Chain A
């Protein structure tokens, strides 16, 4: 069964640095998403991406964040000037025609020191 894959599984970064989280969505999917889950809290929506542009974003997704689909397979989340509170598990998800259901990757645990 095809899966969403994310790299790295764990990223440790100094506060103030930039990080790029990478995702390879399921190959024939059209919609791509980033969510985050702070330890012990609910999964929160960050952004959705369709047809090479952002379709929705939450208030969490401010100018510190950006997404890109640099080629036909990767979908990346960039976080600039990382802060301690950016520490969380970041999940990528994708969905096909009709936008449902969403399939999640294993996540990247981001630790900001």
Chain B
């Protein structure tokens, strides 16, 4: 089955700096890659997603890049703000089925 690795596990950045979180996946046929933000005690919320036929997608301060050859995808947050502090999970959906395989999460702290 699909295996998703996520790095780093913790990340601290100064407010205004950029944050980058990276994930790799094992199943080359995986075709959909969402990113979720989970604040303490709350539900995972979709913040951005990308399909395998696209290399990059941007939504205001958030962008995701996908390298299918290398089987990795990254989340980029620019001009970070304290409210960006949360745990971020990447996920991959294999070609067979609709279930998501999640990474282990990155705890992002934005220091004011």
Once A100-B32, A105-B43, A106-B42 are accepted as A-B contacts, the answer to whether A42 and B102 lie under 8 Å apart by CB is yes
Q: Are A56 and B97 in contact (CB under 8 A)?
A: yes
> What secondary structure prevails in chain A residues at the interface with B?
strand
How many chain B residues have a CB neighbour from A under 8 Å? 21
CB proximity of A100 to chain B, nearest CB, Å: 6
Taking CB atoms, residues of chain B closer than 8 Å to A76 are none
**CB contact between A101 and one of B43, B49, B103 (< 8 Å): that residue:** B49
**CB contact between B99 and one of A48, A91, A103, A105 (< 8 Å): that residue:** A48
| Bound form: Cα–Cα A111–B36 in Å | 25
Q: How large is the interface on A (under 10, 10 to 19, 20 to 34, 35 or more residues)?
A: 20 to 34
Q: Are B43 and A104 in contact (CB under 8 A)?
A: yes
Q: Are B100 and A102 in contact (CB under 8 A)?
A: yes
User: Within A72-113, which residues are at the interface with B (CB < 8 Å)?
Assistant: 91, 95, 99-107
Render A44-61 as a binary contact track against B, CB cut-off 8 A, 1 for contact.
110010100001101000
Render A35-46 as a binary contact track against B, CB cut-off 8 A, 1 for contact.
100000111110
Q: A residues near B, CB below 8 A?
A: 4, 31, 33, 35, 41-45, 48, 50, 55-56, 58, 91, 95, 99-107
